[in-house]
Structures are given as C-alpha cells and as structure tokens.
Chain A
Amino acid sequence: MNRHLAPWPVLGLLLALPACNQPFEPDGPSGDKLVVYGILNSSIDTQYVRLSTTYGTPPGSEIRDAVVTMLTPDRGYVAFRDTTILHINAQGNLEQLNVYVAYPCPVSPGSAYTLQASTSLNRQSAEAAIHASASTIALAPPALFLRNQSPPGREGLKPPVLLTSFQSLTGYCEIHLYLEFYALVDGGWELHSTEVARDAFVDGTGNEVLVYPGLVLVRSLAGSSVAVPVLFDTLQYSNAMAKAAEKFSAAPLAWLQGEFVVTQIDSVLYSYYYANNGPADLSSIRLDRPVYTNVANGFGVFGSCARVVRQFRIGN
C-alpha cells in the first residue's frame, strides 16, 4: 500500500461523522391554539360558546379569562360572559359546564356573525353564518300523515308510510317525530312522550332493533327551497303507541299531540359532524379521519342551526 495513504484521515473521518447527529423532536410546541365550540341557534335567544386551549399533557385546560365577542350583521358587538351552567344533554344526563353565554342574543336567520375570542395567549377568530331560515320550514298539515299516503312512485309500499315535507335551504337536517301523551299514574296525570322510530329490524340474536332518525344530507337542495319528503313508517307509529301502552300497562293513556322537530344545521357544522361521526369512505384508500375545523389556526367549530317544532293533534 502506498505510504501516502495513511489510515489516520480515515480514522479521523470515522470519528467525525457521528457528529452529524441531530436530536429528534417528535413533539412540537403545544398549548398555543384555541379550541372553540359555538353553535348559534336561531330558535332561542341565548347563545353559548365553549373555549379551551391545546395542552401538552391531559387533562385539558378550559379558559376562564377570555374575552369573547361576536360581531353582528349591524356591525355591533355582543359580549359573552364566563359562567357555569347545568345542562341536560341528549342522553338525559345533567352536566355542569363552563361556558361563555350571551343573553339576550337572538340571531337572525340568513345573517352572518363573526366570533372573536382573545386570551392572554393569543387572539383567534372564527366565522359562521346562519343559513337555516326558520321561515322557510313548513310542515304539511297533520291530516296528511294520517291518511297513510305513499310518496309518488312508491304506491303500494308495504307497510305504508307517513308522508310530509318541509323546505330546507341548507340541505342538512334531522327530523324527529314525538308523540306526547298523559298517563294516569298514582291518581295524577303525567305528561310523557315517545319517539317514533324511522325503521326497525331484527338482529342476529332475534331482538328487534329500532332505528331512529339521524342527520341526513339532502345536499342537492342546498340553496333552494324545495320540499323534502319525510317518511315515517305507520307501523312504527303504531308500535310507538303500543310500546307506550305497554310501559304504562296498568294506566290509561290520553294522547295529546304529535310533534315534529326539525333541526337544520349549516354546512360548516355538518362537515364537522361528518368528520367526527360519519362513516368512513369504504372504497377510499384512506384510513385516517380528517380533522375539520373552521377556526383559524385552531380547533373546533363555530356553526349555526335552526330548529322548528310543529305539533299536530292526535286522537285516542
């Protein structure tokens, strides 16, 4: 070997190369983003916003010292106050929540609102517009349901269905049908209600499974005011009554009224709902769930909804 090719440079190289090592930082900075949840409801005059920040290690951190304001269509500001409320959730459970509340704060259908929240950490904002218009929701006369009319083109369907329709501007809605009745319990009349299922099937164990309405997408109607057919199976209607009677087997029932509850939500809220609850695209190559938010540089959602309740009389 040539004497000029001494091994020292190679050995030096071997010692020097590991110096190229760099630290691996899988975690970036945390705790500097706002998490906002607000759903403007045109059916009520109280609006709520929940606020927290991202954090490094659980549990999370709600923000109690934020300034939360909302820019209204007339370029005025509504201030939200930090408070604690008791709320009965959809499952009937009572929960204590720290929220920001604006009252009185009616919101107008078809108007745009901008939410701003500032804390000592930073300043974030989110925008939402009320698209659902209560005045466009029109349920057909109750008598229509009771005639067990089938929708056009589906005559002869067994069992027959209850047919009504409503008009939507957003295309995202959930429709529930409740039956209210009085039951004579311990000598006094108590008001109760039962929900009519949309459908039912028998599972593998032979048990009947009731299917209740969920959020549906009628996106093709977005932006237009076209009647949306609403189908409820008369068999389920009868079943709901039968189950109520079965529950209060020893008591007479007095049927009061039927109640359609229609909740429309805007596209922002529907996107958030679907991203978190919707079924995966079975034919997609993608397995991960997307993260949807309309909060700039943050998480959560600021959307809007409109609810309409229509009653109809039912006889005994």
Chain B
Amino acid sequence: MVTTEVHPLSPAMLPDRFRLPVYCILLLLLCLGEHPARAYPQVPDHEQEGADIRGVVTDSTNGERILGVNVMIKGTGRGAMTNTQGFYIIPNISPGTYEIVAGAVGYVRLARKVTISGQSPVSLDFKLTTRVVEANEVVVQSEGTTSLTARSASIHIVTPRDLQRLPAVGQQDLLRSLQMLPGITSTSDVSAKFYVRGGAGDQNLILLDGMKIYNPFHAFGLFSVLDPDIVRSAEVYTGAFPAGYGGRLSSVVNVTTKDGNLSKVSGVANVNFLSGKLELDGPIAGDNSWLVSGRSSLFGSSINRLIPNPAPTTFSDLFFKGTIGTSTGRIGFRGYSSSDDVEPAASDQPNHSWRNSAYSGVLSALMTDRLYMDASVSYSSSKITRIAKPGSPVVPASSSLQEMDLKAEVTAFTDDQTTYFTGFSFEFPQIEDNIGAITPIHIKESEVEWYAWFRAEGEWGPVRYDLGVHSDIMLLSSGGPLLQGLQPRLTLSFAVGGTWIAKASYGVFTQKLITVSNEDDLISLFDAWLYLPEALRPEVARHYVLGIEGNILGPLATSLQVYAKSYPSLTVYNQAKIFPEDPDYINGTALAYGAELLLRYGSPLLDLYGSYALSKVTLTQEGFSYAPRYDRRHTIKAVATIHLFEGLDATLQWEYGSGYPFTQSAGFYDRLLLSSIGVDPFPGGTPVSTRSLGDKNAARLPAYHRLDAGITYSLLVGPFKGNLGLSVINIYDQKNILYFDRLTGRTDYMIPFFPTASLSVEF
C-alpha cells in the first residue's frame, strides 16, 4: 500500500479549486526569486553599453506618487512614463551628462542633470510642484497626458482637478463626472449607472485600487460610493482596453487612490446638502503613510427633492489605506465598506439594503534591475437585500456575491525600450441568490476564473504599438473558441505630423457575470449578479476603434474617434418567453457603432471642453431587432470654466442628449381569452379591451438637456484652506422625463431646479 504524507502547509491540503492557483503563484515566485533572467527577455550584460536611469516621481507637497509623468531625456527623444507607483525606468543610457525633464498635467515641469559614467543604475527621483501653487497656467495637452493616452485609442485620464470644476448635485462624484466624457451616458439624472458606447450597464469593470466594486452606488444610484477626495486618478477605457483587463465587455474604470500625506497629518472635512465627510491622512515614519476617509448621509430630505416617490434614505462609506515604503518597493493594504438603506413608509413597498466591502493587500517592488512586480490579493463582497413588510405582496429576496482574487503582474524593461507585461489572475466568485418575482428561488454557485496575459509595448519605426493577449484559461480548457479564449488586444499609434497622432485599436472581450435586472427597468434597485446559465454561451464583444488627436491651434486640442463594437454573443432578455420552462435569458447579438469628437481649449482665463457623440446600437434576438433603452443617438456636452481671479472659478455645464427609445401605446384591441377552449373550441366569449403597444422601442422620448452652474472659491486662512462651492442644477428648470405611466398618464421628471452648496476645509 502506497501512502503519501502531506505537509500541513502543502497546497495539497487546499480544496481543489484553490490548489492550481497556489501552485502557479509559488512557481512564479520561485522563478522571480531565483531565475529572473530566464523568464523575461533581457539584453545580456556584455551587450549593455550604458546604465539605467530609474526613480520615482512624487508630489512635492505631500509625497504622493504621481501616475503618468513623462520623464524624458532632453534632446534624445528617449524617455519613460511612471506607473501607478510613480516608478519609471529609462534603460541603457550611454555614458555622458544629460538633462532629464519630468512633466505632467497640473505640475510644473522639472529638469535635473545626471551624469552616467558606468553601467550601474542611476537613481533619479523627482518632486514636482503643482501648478496651482506656482502659476495660474493651464495645460491642455501635456507630454504626460499624451503618453498615457497613446496607450489606447479610447482612454481618458480623470484627475481630482477635473472633478472639482464640475457643478455637482450636492457633492462631487466620480462616476457621475465620467458621464461628461464622450461615449458615456446615463439614462437618468438620478442614476450614476452608466452605459459606454452602446454597452449595457453591467459591462463596466470598476476597480478601486485593484479591488472590484460590484454595486458602486449610493441613494438609488444618485451618486457613487467613490469619494472623489481620495482619488488620485482614474483611468477610463471606453473601448479596446489592453491585456490585463478582462471579464467585462465595454469599459474599465480603474481608480487609484491617494497613499496619504508623507509630510504631515492633513485632512479634508466637507459638508453639503446630502452628506458630511472627513478624510485624514498622514505619515507614520519614514516612507510610510495612512489614509482614512468616512462619509455619511446627513439630510435625507434633500435626496427626497431629487427623486420621484421619495423614501427615507441613509448611506455611509468608509475607506482606509496603509502604505509601507521599502527600499525596493511598497507594501500596502486597503479596505472599503459602504452601506445603504431605503425604507419607504408605504406598507406595500419593501425596504432595501445594500452592503459592499472590499479589502486587499498589495506588493509593488523592483525585483531586479529590470523587473518590476505588482501582486495583490483582494476580497470583494456585495450584498443586496429586499425586505418585505408584513402583509406586502412583495416577496423578500437577496443577492450576495463574494469574490477572492489573486493577481500578479511583472513588468520587464528592455534595452530597446520595449516594455513587457505578463501576469495572471485567479478569481473565485461565490454567488448566492434568493431571487424570483413571486416565489424565491435559491441559487448558489462557486466558480473559478483564471486569466493569464502577455503584453508588449514599444516602438517599431514610427509606429508605437501595444499588443497582447488576455487569455481566459477556463474558456480555453473547456474547448471554447480560440479567439475568445486568447482575446487578442492591439493598439497602434503613430505621429502623422506636428502634434497629431493617429490610432487604431482592436480587442476581443468576454463576460460571464451578468446582472439579472431587466434592461427596461427605469431604476433597478435589485441588481443581482448571476453567472451565465450553462445553456448560454459567454458574452463576447469585439471592439474596433480608429482615431486621430492633436492640437488645432496652440491650446485648442481635439480628438476624433470612430468605433464599431460587435457582440456575436450577448445575453438578452427573452422577449418571447411564454412558458415557465422558457428561459428568462437567451443568446442574442448586437452591433454598436458611432463617432466621438472632443475639443478642449485652455488659457489662463478660460477652459473650454466640448464633445459630441454619435451612437447607434441595435440588439437582435430570434430575428427581431430593436434599440435598447440606453441607445442615445446624439449627445453634446459642454463645460466652460472661467478663472475669475486667484481661487475663484465659475463653471457652466450643459448637456444635450437626443431622446432615449421607448415603446408607444398604439390604441387598444379586443382580446379573447379563450379560457374555455378545451370545452368549447370556438372563438367566442366577450372580448377584453386591451391596450396595444407599438413596435418595441420604436419611438423616442423628447431630447434631454440641462444647464448647471457652479462657483468654487478657495482661500487660505492660516494652515487651513477653505473651499466653498455653490451650484445651481438645472438652471432653467427643464422638465426632462424620467417616467411616464401609460395607464394613468402620470409623468415624473428628473432633477428640477436645485441650488446646492458645499463647504470643505483642508488642513
């Protein structure tokens, strides 16, 4: 008899679904720790002629690491861009003396001289000073921004500076602000749920420091759970996102938070018509920092003014983060939790509660001279509960999603300035739903998702490329189509003269997690996540993007993009469902295409932002095609910010959107029930006058438009900086239709004329 002794700490002791990921992680760590040169392409030492220049770029006022800083060697055309940890590396620089320039949006460009004399790496850090402090100059298209946006044809970088300027309903909000970007729309003022380039609302991946956030909304979706004061930057991919991101079909919002002030204890206290909050951060010792931010609803009555059929609403959220700096990298941990409760007074309306949380530990480190590693373990949880009141016809329901993710990515820098990224992620979602409109059904499922990716970013002559594959290993191992399993991603960009850059992107994406809400719902309170039923194929999208961007006249920058997004497999609501055994969802197809024009102008006195988006999306199921509820044909967005004088900005924001589709009533018809057909097979009986509907979503609501205005005033009082914001939402009180009840004729409208104010104090 053969026996095998298992060590108590052996992966063999783990459940089956965890064993493979742990083996892979151990293998990667062994490779990185002992034989890094075997794993990644490097120029052998004897061919290396010079030394590497590397370092980190930080904010001079608080020590925050800065993402997307372009670090260039003056006169050589060589350079690099900082990653999320502010790290950069310019490899293999020949001996000599160079001037290195670092610049980014909102910061004063800084130049430093360095002398290379051998082959040992040279460390060169930069501390950039914000422009707000130094000068009142506005940069529209900086080198840093260009480098970042060159990575993808459809990426937008949103900074706190962008958020602060927009008029806000009560308080600034990241996801709502994103809706000012071309290609992103929302179906109502009272929902931060967004739709990107014809994609459904569940096709957007939202990451907070790498942690997945599944239901990122407060107060019916009036605003998101992402506190803008903790945001360092947000990368928003509206299409063709690169390898390393997967599991969603339409977009990625990758939010990076601040680490915390490394110089002193600082904070922000804010109070507005909806909530109050406090954020504190500071150093511990050396290169270590902490940050805590909490927010809570204060005035439920304000929310009630904004939402038809109001209900007592309370919410809160908490975010904390700790970062430990080491000689070669950083170790961090962060946590987030949010809660929402809606408790209507009416006895027939159920209460709802939402609970979200996420925690993660991350490691970012320079493993060798040319290898940089990011690894993380994270846990995300989201639970929605519908609580029925005694005697109510509504049945209770709940949906819980818990997910553990293990992720690691290694970045390798080479002499020819090609950067390689490779990594993997294991995801262990667990879903437990008690759903059903009348009788709850219980669904409990555990899945394992394994992705591995490889990506190369570099230059080939005049062409800058970013190509890779994002492999869905589970799909490949189950015999899925090769293209969907490999998921190629490609972006090409090249300078066409002056500041003009042309781009082209392509990508294949899959998604297996969907929300079970009806896409026709006006406001979906119960967005339960569900794995695709086995009978359905995974959702698949292919993105094609062409674009050109550059400066027309000095500070006037523009970008034009055309895109097509085909969905050869998309999960759609089964319109033909009649029998219980008919599925709620079936496979359909969709096609979305459009064009987006963006204009930005900056001067010391005036900032202008304008965009126009043309979009069309068509869903098809069983040979029947229709426009989904979020198909908006024309969208115009415009923002003008006037810098009246130091610390005082005034902003006007206007948005126009052509009407969303809806189904018209088309009179009535006489309906025979034929309920006694088995006894009397004759088309008799008294007809029931029944309202008939026109073709699905064939008509359009009136156009949406709204003008907002805001004034922000900042002043320094000793160690305190005060920010006073006054906003007026919907200045001309436009009646934008939110809901029309075709039976009663009642119409509800979106946010009316609504003045708000906020006060924050920074110290």
What A residues does B672 contact at CB under 8 A?
A: 37, 50, 300
What B residues does A53 contact at CB under 8 A?
A: 669
Contact yes or no, A21 B702, CB < 8 A: yes
What B residues does A26 contact at CB under 8 A?
A: 664-665, 740, 742, 745
Q: A33-B669, A277-B673, A307-B681 are contacts. A290–B707 as well, Cβ < 8 Å?
A: no
Tell me, rounded to whole Å, the shortest Cβ–Cβ distance linking A210 to chain B.
15
What B residues does A23 contact at CB under 8 A?
A: 702
What B residues does A273 contact at CB under 8 A?
A: 674-675, 677
Q: A33-B692, A277-B673 are contacts. A55–B578 as well, Cβ < 8 Å?
A: no
Select the stretch in B230-238, B435-443, B475-483, B535-543 that faces chain A.
B435-443
Q: A17-B707, A20-B705, A282-B439 are contacts. A58–B681 as well, Cβ < 8 Å?
A: no
Cα A150 to Cα B177 in complex, Å, equals 71
B516 at the interface (CB under 8 A from A): yes
What B residues does A176 contact at CB under 8 A?
A: 678-679
Select the stretch in B96-104, B296-304, B729-737 that faces chain A.
B729-737
B577 at the interface (CB under 8 A from A): yes
Q: A28-B694, A286-B437 are contacts. A20–B681 as well, Cβ < 8 Å?
A: no
Q: A60-B670, A290-B577, A299-B669 are contacts. A265–B677 as well, Cβ < 8 Å?
A: yes
Q: Which of A28, A60, A90 contacts B687 (CB 8 A)?
A: A60
Tell me, rounded to whole Å, the shortest Cβ–Cβ distance linking B193 to chain A.
17
* CB nearest to A176 among chain B residues: B679
* CB nearest to B706 among chain A residues: A17
What B residues does A22 contact at CB under 8 A?
A: 659, 702-703
Q: A37-B683, A274-B579 are contacts. A54–B437 as well, Cβ < 8 Å?
A: no
B625 at the interface (CB under 8 A from A): no
Contact yes or no, A48 B682, CB < 8 A: yes
Q: What mask results when residues 142 to 161 of chain B are scored 1 for a CB within 8 Å of chain A, else 0?
A: 00000000000000000000
* CB nearest to B442 among chain A residues: A283
Interface residues on B, range: 35 or more
What B residues does A290 contact at CB under 8 A?
A: 575-578
What A residues does B392 contact at CB under 8 A?
A: none
Tell me, rounded to whole Å, the shortest Cβ–Cβ distance linking A90 to chain B.
3
Cα A56 to Cα B686 in complex, Å, equals 19
Contact yes or no, A263 B578, CB < 8 A: no
Contact yes or no, A28 B678, CB < 8 A: no
Kindly identify, within residues 560 to 619 of chain B, every residue whose CB is under 8 Å from any CB belonging to chain A: 575-580, 582, 584, 605
* CB nearest to A90 among chain B residues: B676
What B residues does A25 contact at CB under 8 A?
A: 664, 699
A215 at the interface (CB under 8 A from B): yes
Contact yes or no, B437 A14, CB < 8 A: no
Tell me, rounded to whole Å, the shortest Cβ–Cβ distance linking B700 to chain A.
9
Q: What mask results when residues 275 to 302 of chain A are scored 1 for a CB within 8 Å of chain B, else 0?
A: 1111111111111001110000001110
What B residues does A1 contact at CB under 8 A?
A: 644
What A residues does B108 contact at CB under 8 A?
A: none
Contact yes or no, A14 B707, CB < 8 A: yes
Contact yes or no, A41 B681, CB < 8 A: yes
What A residues does B742 contact at CB under 8 A?
A: 26
B134 at the interface (CB under 8 A from A): no
B95 at the interface (CB under 8 A from A): no
Contact yes or no, B673 A263, CB < 8 A: no
B326 at the interface (CB under 8 A from A): no
Kindly identify, within residues 77 to 109 of chain A, every residue whose CB is under 8 Å from any CB belonging to chain B: 87, 89-91, 95, 97, 99
Cα A56 to Cα B702 in complex, Å, equals 23
A257 at the interface (CB under 8 A from B): no
Cα A291 to Cα B654 in complex, Å, equals 41
Kindly identify, within residues 416 to 452 of chain B, every residue whose CB is under 8 Å from any CB belonging to chain A: 435-441
* CB nearest to A10 among chain B residues: B652
Q: A18-B732, A18-B734 are contacts. A284–B685 as well, Cβ < 8 Å?
A: no
A206 at the interface (CB under 8 A from B): no
Q: Which of A29, A87, A91 contacts B676 (CB 8 A)?
A: A91
Number of A-B contacts (CB under 8 A): 207
Contact yes or no, A54 B682, CB < 8 A: no
Contact yes or no, B518 A95, CB < 8 A: no
Contact yes or no, A284 B436, CB < 8 A: yes
What A residues does B681 contact at CB under 8 A?
A: 39, 41, 263, 265, 305, 307
Contact yes or no, B675 A276, CB < 8 A: yes
* CB nearest to B745 among chain A residues: A26
A201 at the interface (CB under 8 A from B): no
Tell me, rounded to whole Å, the shortest Cβ–Cβ distance linking B373 to chain A.
43
A213 at the interface (CB under 8 A from B): yes
Contact yes or no, A263 B669, CB < 8 A: no
* CB nearest to B736 among chain A residues: A21
Q: Which of B605, B671, B678 contacts A2 (CB 8 A)?
A: B605
Contact yes or no, B731 A282, CB < 8 A: no
Cα A272 to Cα B384 in complex, Å, equals 36
A76 at the interface (CB under 8 A from B): no
A214 at the interface (CB under 8 A from B): yes
Cα A13 to Cα B439 in complex, Å, equals 54
Cα A87 to Cα B668 in complex, Å, equals 25
Contact yes or no, B668 A30, CB < 8 A: yes
Q: Which of A33, A274, A284 contacts B584 (CB 8 A)?
A: A284
Kindly identify, within residues 608 to 647 of chain B, every residue whose CB is under 8 Å from any CB belonging to chain A: 642, 644
Kindly identify, within residues 31 to 49 of chain A, every residue whose CB is under 8 Å from any CB belonging to chain B: 31, 33, 35, 37-39, 41, 48-49
A59 at the interface (CB under 8 A from B): yes
Tell me, rounded to whole Å, the shortest Cβ–Cβ distance linking A62 to chain B.
8
Contact yes or no, B692 A54, CB < 8 A: yes
Cα A9 to Cα B299 in complex, Å, equals 36
Cα A89 to Cα B681 in complex, Å, equals 10
Q: Which of B665, B689, B705 contacts A60 (CB 8 A)?
A: B689
Tell me, rounded to whole Å, the shortest Cβ–Cβ distance linking B486 to chain A.
34
Contact yes or no, A286 B675, CB < 8 A: no
* CB nearest to B702 among chain A residues: A22
Kindly identify, within residues 218 to 269 of chain A, every residue whose CB is under 8 Å from any CB belonging to chain B: 263, 265, 269
Contact yes or no, A292 B578, CB < 8 A: yes
B680 at the interface (CB under 8 A from A): yes
What A residues does B441 contact at CB under 8 A?
A: 283
Cα A195 to Cα B751 in complex, Å, equals 62
B533 at the interface (CB under 8 A from A): no
* CB nearest to B695 among chain A residues: A28
Contact yes or no, B689 A58, CB < 8 A: yes
Contact yes or no, B584 A39, CB < 8 A: no
Q: A10-B652, A215-B678 are contacts. A56–B435 as well, Cβ < 8 Å?
A: no
B656 at the interface (CB under 8 A from A): yes
* CB nearest to B685 among chain A residues: A89
A24 at the interface (CB under 8 A from B): yes
Contact yes or no, A285 B436, CB < 8 A: yes
Cα A132 to Cα B677 in complex, Å, equals 15
Cα A31 to Cα B516 in complex, Å, equals 36
Q: A37-B683, A273-B674 are contacts. A5–B642 as well, Cβ < 8 Å?
A: yes
Contact yes or no, A213 B678, CB < 8 A: yes
* CB nearest to B579 among chain A residues: A274
Tell me, rounded to whole Å, the shortest Cβ–Cβ distance linking A49 to chain B.
8
Contact yes or no, B683 A54, CB < 8 A: no
Q: Which of B605, B684, B740, B747 contacts A87 (CB 8 A)?
A: B684
> What are 23 of the A-B contact pairs (CB < 8 Å)?
A14-B732, A20-B703, A28-B699, A30-B666, A35-B669, A39-B681, A48-B683, A52-B669, A52-B670, A54-B669, A54-B692, A55-B668, A58-B689, A91-B676, A176-B678, A263-B677, A276-B673, A276-B674, A282-B437, A283-B439, A285-B436, A290-B575, A299-B671
Residues of A within 8 A of B (CB): 1-2, 5, 10, 13-14, 17-18, 20-31, 33, 35, 37-39, 41, 48-50, 52-60, 62, 87, 89-91, 95, 97, 99, 173-174, 176, 213-215, 263, 265, 269, 271-287, 290-292, 299-301, 305, 307
In order of increasing CB-CB distance, the 8 nearest A-B pairs are A30-B667, A174-B678, A90-B676, A28-B664, A282-B439, A37-B683, A22-B702, A281-B580
* Given A26-B664, A28-B698: 20 more A-B contacts, CB < 8 Å: A13-B654, A14-B732, A22-B703, A26-B740, A28-B666, A29-B694, A39-B674, A39-B682, A39-B683, A48-B683, A55-B669, A60-B687, A89-B676, A89-B685, A173-B678, A282-B437, A285-B437, A290-B578, A301-B674, A307-B681
